[in-house]
């Protein structure tokens, strides 16, 4: 059971991580480089490093993975009638960030193909190492740039249309009056 206070803290953390990730997507589009995504993921890792947990932590990174994959799934669903979507998004990454980053994002682009692609991309975590999560941000930046007019508000509209499913479900835990 989670108290109302604890649920508010969870909701605030979810909102904060979502905002930081959306800003990383916007900064990637605006600045045109891989660093905003990398810096954001490093900040999230530092949050986890400062959070003492007996199980090794990683809650902020886990939340980031969940949100990023949720947004990519919503992008895939919204662009289902666009069979060239993956090539278009990877093309934007190559044009804006460079060939090297397109190659890295290609490994995680399965999330834009199908549900099984989402499961498959976890196989590339070790290969991509520190660029695994940034590659998800680069894909989102490409999607927002190509299909969302460069405005991350497009992700919010997709989220609202999907009923807010990209983030861990607010209020999903049992809440008490404590």
DSSP 175: E
pLDDT of amino acid 101: 97
Summarised one tens digit per residue, pLDDT across range 94-138 is 999 999 999 999 999 999 998 887 778 888 888 898 999 999 999
pLDDT band of residue 91 (cuts 50, 70, 90) is very high
Q: Where are the domains of the chain?
A: 2-163
The SS3 assignment for 169 reads: coil
Residue 173: predicted pLDDT: 40
Q: How confident is the model at residue 57 (pLDDT cuts 50, 70, 90)?
A: low
What is the pTM (predicted TM-score) of this model?
0.86
Give the length of the chain: 178
């Amino acid at each position: 059971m989670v108290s109302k206070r604890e649920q508010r803290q969870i909701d605030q953390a979810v909102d904060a991580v979502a905002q930081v990730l959306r800003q990383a997507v916007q900064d990637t589009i605006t600045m045109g480089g891989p660093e905003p995504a990398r810096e954001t993921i490093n900040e999230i890792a530092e949050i986890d490093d400062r959070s003492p947990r007996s199980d090794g932590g990683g809650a902020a990174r886990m939340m980031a993975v969940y949100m990023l994959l949720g947004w990519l799934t919503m992008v895939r669903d919204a662009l289902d009638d666009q069979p060239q979507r993956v090539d278009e998004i990877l093309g934007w990454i190559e044009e804006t960030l460079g060939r090297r980053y397109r190659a890295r994002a290609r490994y995680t682009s399965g999330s834009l193909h199908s549900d099984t692609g989402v499961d498959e991309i976890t196989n590339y975590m070790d290969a991509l190492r520190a660029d695994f999560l940034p590659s998800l941000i680069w894909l989102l930046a490409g999607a927002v740039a190509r299909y969302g007019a460069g405005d991350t508000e497009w992700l919010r509209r997709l989220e609202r249309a999907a009923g807010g499913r990209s983030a861990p479900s607010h209020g999903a835990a049992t809440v008490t009056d404590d």
